[in-house]
Amino acid sequence: MKQYDALLAAASTTRRGTPTAAELAIAVLAPLSLFLQLLALVSYLASPALAYTALSDHFLKLVPSGGDDFDIDNGKLLAPILIPRVPGTPGQVAAQEHLVNFFRNELPSWSIEWFNSTGKTPVTGDRDIPFHNLLFKREPPWVQEGQSNLLTLVAHYDSKISPEGFIGATDSAVPCAILMHVARTIDHYITQMYDEMNVLGEGGTVPMDMGVQILLLDGEEAFLQWTETDSLYGARALAEHWESSYHPANSFYKNPLDQISMFVLLDLLGSADPTISSSFLPTHWAYQAMATIEQRMRKLNLLESNPKGPFLPDAEKVVSKFGRGMVEDDHIPFMRRGVPILHVIATPFPSVWHTINDDGAHLDMPTVRDWARIVTAFTLEWLDMMEVEPKDETSKGG
Ligand X SMILES: *[C@@H]1O[C@H](CO)[C@@H](O)[C@H](O)[C@H]1NC(C)=O
Task: Rule CB under 6 A: say whether 144 interacts with ligand X.
Answer: no
- Which is the catalytic residue, given 139, 258, 267, 381? 267
Task: Rule CB under 5 A: say whether 329 interacts with Zn ion.
Answer: no
Q: How many residues at the interface with Zn ion, by CB under 5 A?
A: 1
Which residue from 116, 144, 245, 355 is in contact with ligand X, where contact means CB under 6 A?
116
Active site residue 228: no
Site for ligand X in 162-191 (CB under 6 A): none
Task: Rule CB under 5 A: say whether 69 interacts with Zn ion.
Answer: no
Task: Rule CB under 6 A: say whether 343 interacts with ligand X.
Answer: no
Count other C-beta atoms under 10 Å from residue 49's C-beta. 16
The answer for residues whose C-beta is within 8 angstroms of residue 272's C-beta and 6 or more apart is: 305, 307, 364, 367
Task: Rule CB under 6 A: say whether 33 interacts with ligand X.
Answer: no
> How far is it, in rounded angstroms, from Cα 387 to Cα 218?
35
Ramachandran quadrant class, 201 (left: phi over 0; alpha: psi -120 to 50; beta: rest):
left
Active site residue 113: no
Among Zn ion, ligand X, none, what does residue 114 contact (CB within 5–8 Å per kind)?
ligand X
Among Zn ion, ligand X, none, what does residue 171 contact (CB within 5–8 Å per kind)?
Zn ion
Which residue from 158, 171, 209, 329 is in contact with Zn ion, where contact means CB under 5 A?
171
Among ligand X, Zn ion, none, what does residue 35 contact (CB within 5–8 Å per kind)?
none
Which residue from 85, 132, 156, 354 is in contact with ligand X, where contact means CB under 6 A?
132
Shortest distance, CB of residue 236 to ligand X, whole angstroms?
A: 17
Task: Rule CB under 6 A: say whether 101 interacts with ligand X.
Answer: no
Stretch that binds Zn ion, among 12-20, 124-132, 170-178, 270-278 (CB under 5 A): 170-178
Nearer to Zn ion by Cβ, of 171 and 381: the residue is: 171
- Which is the catalytic residue, given 69, 220, 221, 330? 220
Cβ-based burial of 225 (10 A; exposed 0-12, middle 13-18, buried ≥19): exposed
Q: How many residues at the interface with ligand X, by CB under 6 A?
A: 3
Chain residues binding ligand X by CB under 6 A are 114, 116, 132
- Which residues belong to the active site? 220, 267
